[in-house]
Amino acid sequence: MTITRAMLETLDRDDMLAPFRAEFDLPPDTIYLDGNSLGVLPVAAKARLRRVVEDEWGRGLIRSWNDAGWIDLPSRVGGMIAGLVGAAADEVTVADSTSVNLFKLAAAAVRMRPGRRVILSEPGNFPTDLYMLQGLSGLLGGAIELRTVPADAMADALTDEVALLLLTQVHYKTGHVHDMAALTARAHAVGALTLWDLSHSAGALAVDLNGAGVDFAVGCGYKYLNGGPGAPAFLFVARRHQDQAVQPLSGWMGHAAPFAFGDDYRPAPGIRRHLCGTPPILGLSALEEGVAVMARADMGRIREKSSRMGDLFLALVEQMCGPDCFGVISPRDARIRGSHVSLSHPDGYAIMQALIARGVIGDFRAPDALRFGFTPLYLRHADLWDAVAHLADIMRTGEYRQERFQTKTAVT
Amino acid sequence: MTITRAMLETLDRDDMLAPFRAEFDLPPDTIYLDGNSLGVLPVAAKARLRRVVEDEWGRGLIRSWNDAGWIDLPSRVGGMIAGLVGAAADEVTVADSTSVNLFKLAAAAVRMRPGRRVILSEPGNFPTDLYMLQGLSGLLGGAIELRTVPADAMADALTDEVALLLLTQVHYKTGHVHDMAALTARAHAVGALTLWDLSHSAGALAVDLNGAGVDFAVGCGYKYLNGGPGAPAFLFVARRHQDQAVQPLSGWMGHAAPFAFGDDYRPAPGIRRHLCGTPPILGLSALEEGVAVMARADMGRIREKSSRMGDLFLALVEQMCGPDCFGVISPRDARIRGSHVSLSHPDGYAIMQALIARGVIGDFRAPDALRFGFTPLYLRHADLWDAVAHLADIMRTGEYRQERFQTKTAVT
């Protein structure tokens, strides 16, 4: 069946999520297919940040830690994110970066499994996840080993040597979705703990951490949660582990009595012990606005629309560019595909630059992946038509071969 | 000699730093003596943050990593801070929190001194400094021991067991200034490395890291540097150590090729390997404006004025409150006193609340310290008169005994 733009416009007219588009401040003449890398600006975040900067910081100053509730922001925003990932409000907090949170929770987890020396992950996992674990292993003088095995060998690699299974639920490049519940159960069957990176799933899928029996999780604030560039990250510790989990970045904000200024660290009860330094108030405030919009949307509808958008995008690429123009890195089955789709092409970098020059923004992941993210709260089905029309035109004309699209920039 | 308000007004008229006051957005009817805890809002930060939020994030989106120079912010702001602390531009970067940076550099340092198991510090150091080292020690199963000895016993405690000496140059409570050069030399004489916390000295004193031969340093962005609530922190690694120092929080932003997305961590050359996760752009942008103002001021003049303000404040307290009203925690000798003064009083908490209710803002540090910070860029000498007049009035009337000033809040 040939897809027409009119069909997509009909889908948009019937889209129950369509009103959310007005809650975001979108750049004109742009089709933004990179919300999986940096989410867009929520309208409410503009006023919020003005208020935080000009009133709370400018006028309230130090008093705002109490009067504006700054001190409660990590747990408040954490509690809101909890609702998006199937956790209880007191199981999630916001702190530091995804990388730092991974380190904290991996270190806490291996300490809970003395005698086991393996942290299991997969090759090609988002690099910082592997790097942070390599850093932990190096610090511990090799007492912990990071072992990576391909996804299809994961079940067999789960042995009683494994202290922790660390996986990203939705793969940053392929978009493949792991079966979180099944792998968690398999890990538990051999006595291992699990740490899931939800960077590409929180705000994109209906994540059910407690339903899946997950032990620990981390995730990113600036992708689907629209928290702004370099937003702080979140972390989850299942309530059953909260009294045992001791993380090594034991800063004053995780102390049981941070303002008693004693010399000896005593971890706070519950999730708060996973805080470290002074919370980043500007970033937390922006994140709260991003999460607040997401929290009002129905996650089932979001998932349904993004799955449909991924299917439509793949079909449109084939229809408009031809069946052999691009490789398809992502699963074609939407049930095991996250909210982005990756194509491959040897000239992927230049093609993406040419697309961006036309106002269609995706991103490139070395060596050859063109990545397109579908964010149902602010994208229309018809945007897909327009984006792929540009792509087809770039391929037909060879526009991407122009020299100006070849130069690599710092961040791609 | 009795001090008069007219004398202070004369000092203000002759003050070469007075024009800087207009560069800060100060709340009306407030005397802010807490810039050592949270610096005030630079006027330029307001417009900068609007631009970062509304244009760079809102319009530029992912493109702003290149187009708005986001990716360079850590090294750019680090280079500016370097100029304030006697370092070369490529020896300082901005990342994470002071706590997290302490962990990174302490771990890097002890790895450079294999066989030595002691990290030496002092009791009563800022708690997070001790807590982070306790966390590192716990993670390493006691292979590293945090040992605290009082300042006057420090020299004798520096033995060849010591891998690292960790001290805060200006004590957060007493304001006492350590002799950084002498203690660093003494540490080096026994083969130990040094890590200095500059949280209460950067932007307050003429710090000379390289002149003192310091190995590592960290410091806070939201105090004297006026970077905003929870601003990211800075770190310093002397150039001679940059190829050897390997820190364990090896996130993707510290990778030699962060966008190659390889599976194996390879530290970036130079200072960049000390980055970890994605930089917090809102916080970094605000910090850049705070540092930019400070960088235009003469640090010698700043130090001279803050020393004079401390002396005047102590003299005014004695003159207006009486000689026995408060204990004096801080050194009376301005040469060994940082940019804040602490008084003691058994009712310190309530007295500070009563002062704050009158618009004179200092802070309280348990159990009994009233802390007053002097920030020469935006404070006038006459402000000291007015602040102490309020304090004297509160003490004379017993106003602080009112019940409303007794209730403890979350942050004090």
pLDDT value at position A1?
Answer: 82
A251/B278 CB distance under 8 A: no
Q: Is the per-residue pLDDT at A393 higher than 80? A: yes
d(CA A127, CA B10): 61
In A, which residues are within 8 Å of B268 by CB distance? none
Band (A398; pLDDT cuts 50, 70, 90): very high
A58/B286 CB distance under 8 A: no
Contact B54, A219 (CB under 8 A): no
B135/A64 CB distance under 8 A: no
**Which among A25, A41, A62 is the top mutation candidate for probing chain B, defined by the most B β-carbons within 10 Å of its own β-carbon?**
A62
In A, which residues are within 8 Å of B412 by CB distance? 259
d(CA B84, CA B204): 9
Contact A204, A225 (CB under 8 A): no
Q: How many CA atoms lie within 13 A of A242 on its CB side?
A: 19
d(CA B377, CA A373): 47
Nearest residue, CB atoms, A99 vs list B99, B132, B251: B251
Nearest-10 Cα torsion for B67, B70, B72, B78: 150
A331-341 pLDDT, tens digit per residue, is 999 999 999 99
d(CA B173, CA B383): 22
A248/B135 CB distance under 8 A: yes
∠ CA B135-B251-A87 to the nearest 5 degrees?
Answer: 70
Task: Give the distance between the most distant pair of CA atoms in chain A.
Answer: 71
d(CA A59, CA A47): 16
A148-177 pLDDT, tens digit per residue, is 999 999 989 999 999 999 999 999 999 999
E runs forming strands in A35-88: 41-42
Q: Is the per-residue pLDDT at A409 higher than 80? A: no
Q: Which of A181, A203, A187, A171 is nearest to A376 (CA)?
A: A203
A169-218 pLDDT, tens digit per residue, is 999 999 999 999 999 999 999 999 999 999 999 999 999 999 999 999 99
Nearest residue, CB atoms, B366 vs list A65, A246, A261: A261
Band (B366; pLDDT cuts 50, 70, 90): confident
Q: Is B97 helix (H, G, I), strand (E, B) or coil?
A: coil
d(CA A66, CA A60): 10
Backbone angles phi, psi at A225, to 5 degrees: -85, -5
In A, which residues are within 8 Å of B261 by CB distance? 127, 173, 365-366
- Determine the distance in angstroms separating the CA of B213 from the nearest CA of chain A, rounded to an integer: 26
State yes or no: is A371 an active-site residue: yes
d(CA B1, CA B3): 6
Give kind and range of the element (H or E) at residue B296.
Answer: helix B281-296
State yes or no: is A378 an active-site residue: no
Across B223-238, average pLDDT: 98
Contact B394, B355 (CB under 8 A): yes
Give kind and range of the element (H or E) at residue A391.
Answer: helix A381-397
What DSSP string describes A274-307?
A: G--S---HHHHHHHHHHHHHHHHS-HHHHHHHHH
In B, which residues are within 8 Å of A54 by CB distance? 25, 41, 46
Interacting residues of B66 by C-beta distance below 8 A, sequence separation 6+: A409, A410, A411
Task: From residue A301, give the alpha-carbon distance in Å to each of A29, A80, A296, B171, B359.
Answer: 26, 19, 12, 55, 51
Owner of token pair 């070369």: B88
Q: Which of B171, B137, B132 is nearest to B151 (CA)?
A: B171
Measured over the CA atoms of residue A76, residue A77, residue A83 and residue A85, the dihedral's sign is negative
Contact A244, A234 (CB under 8 A): no
In B, which residues are within 8 Å of A262 by CB distance? 127
B280/A280 CB distance under 8 A: yes
Nearest residue, CB atoms, B53 vs list A49, A410, A411: A49
- Could you give the residue numbers annotated as active site of B? 126, 197, 222-223, 371
A349-385 pLDDT, tens digit per residue, is 999 999 999 999 999 998 999 999 999 999 999 999 9
A250, two tokens = 């034991």
Nearest chain A residue to B143, by CA? A140
Choosing from A34, A96, A197, A363, the catalytic residue is A197
Band (B408; pLDDT cuts 50, 70, 90): confident
Measured over the CA atoms of residue B22, residue B28, residue B30 and residue B36, the dihedral's sign is negative
B130-174 pLDDT, tens digit per residue, is 999 999 999 998 899 999 999 999 989 999 999 999 999 999 999
- Indicate the residue type of A309: M
Nearest chain B residue to A136, by CA? B248
Choosing from A113, A173, A223, A358, the catalytic residue is A223
**Which among B131, B224, B360, B411 is the top mutation candidate for probing chain A, defined by the most A β-carbons within 10 Å of its own β-carbon?**
B131
- Determine the distance in angstroms separating the CA of A411 from the nearest CA of chain B, rounded to an integer: 6
Band (A411; pLDDT cuts 50, 70, 90): low
- Burial of A133 (C-beta count, 10 Å sphere; 0-12/13-18/19+): buried
Contact A252, A15 (CB under 8 A): no
A53/B58 CB distance under 8 A: no
Q: Is the per-residue pLDDT at B202 higher than 80? A: yes
A130/B363 CB distance under 8 A: no
In B, which residues are within 8 Å of A32 by CB distance? 61
Q: Is the per-residue pLDDT at B411 higher than 90? A: no
Contact A43, B57 (CB under 8 A): no
Give kind and range of the element (H or E) at residue A344.
Answer: strand A340-344
Nearest residue, CB atoms, B365 vs list A37, A45, A261: A261
Measured over the CA atoms of residue B63, residue B69, residue B45 and residue A275, the dihedral's sign is positive
pLDDT value at position B409?
Answer: 67
Q: Is the per-residue pLDDT at A108 higher than 60? A: yes
Contact B131, A252 (CB under 8 A): yes
Share of chain A above pLDDT 90, in %: 95
Measured over the CA atoms of residue A300, residue A301, residue A304 and residue A306, the dihedral's sign is negative
Across B377-389, average pLDDT: 98
B100/A277 CB distance under 8 A: yes
Q: Is the per-residue pLDDT at A410 higher than 80? A: no
B167, two tokens = 């001290």
Q: How many CA atoms lie within 13 A of B307 on its CB side?
A: 15
Share of chain A above pLDDT 70, in %: 99
A120-146 pLDDT, tens digit per residue, is 999 999 999 999 999 999 999 889 999
Nearest residue, CB atoms, B281 vs list A66, A230, A356: A230
∠ CA A49-A51-A52 to the nearest 5 degrees?
Answer: 65
- Determine the distance in angstroms separating the CA of A188 from the nearest CA of chain B, rounded to an integer: 24
Delineate the domains of chain B, giving CATH numbers in brackets. Answer: 5-41+298-405 (3.90.1150.10), 69-296 (3.40.640.10)
Q: Is the per-residue pLDDT at B14 higher than 70? A: yes
Give kind and range of the element (H or E) at residue A145.
Answer: strand A145-148
Choosing from A222, A313, A378, A400, the catalytic residue is A222
In A, which residues are within 8 Å of B60 by CB distance? 27
B249/A32 CB distance under 8 A: no
**Residues forming beta bridges with residue A148, ordered by sequence position:** A121
d(CA A124, CA A148): 9
d(CA B291, CA B93): 13
d(CA A22, CA A31): 15
B319-362 pLDDT, tens digit per residue, is 999 999 999 999 999 999 999 999 999 999 999 999 999 999 99
d(CA B252, CA B260): 10
B180, two tokens = 């950084």
pLDDT value at position B410?
Answer: 57
**DSSP strand pairing (B41-42 vs B118-121):** unpaired
Choosing from A272, A358, A371, A380, the catalytic residue is A371
A264/B66 CB distance under 8 A: no
d(CA B20, CA B8): 18
Nearest residue, CB atoms, A99 vs list B25, B103, B276: B276
Across A88-106, average pLDDT: 98
B65/A410 CB distance under 8 A: yes
- Determine the distance in angstroms separating the CA of B366 from the nearest CA of chain A, rounded to an integer: 6
d(CA A233, CA A225): 10
Query: In angstroms, how far is the first alpha carbon of chain A from the final one?
Result: 35
- Indicate the residue type of A163: A
Interface contacts A/B by beta carbons within 8 Å: 287
A41-52 pLDDT, tens digit per residue, is 999 999 999 999
**DSSP strand pairing (A360-361 vs A31-32):** parallel
Q: Is the per-residue pLDDT at A412 higher than 60? A: no
**Which among A99, A122, A363, A375 is the top mutation candidate for probing chain B, defined by the most B β-carbons within 10 Å of its own β-carbon?**
A99
A173/B261 CB distance under 8 A: yes
User: Residue A72 has what DSSP assignment?
Assistant: G
In A, which residues are within 8 Å of B128 by CB distance? 251-252, 277
B361/A250 CB distance under 8 A: no
d(CA B193, CA B339): 27
In B, which residues are within 8 Å of A38 by CB distance? 57, 61-62
**DSSP strand pairing (B233-237 vs B92-95):** antiparallel
d(CA B279, CA A363): 19
What DSSP string describes A81-138?
A: HHTTTT--GGGEEEES-HHHHHHHHHHHHHHTSTT--EEEE-TTS-HHHHHHHHHHHH
Nearest residue, CB atoms, A100 vs list B230, B232, B249: B249
d(CA B304, CA B309): 9
∠ CA A197-A195-A265 to the nearest 5 degrees?
Answer: 110
A283/B282 CB distance under 8 A: yes
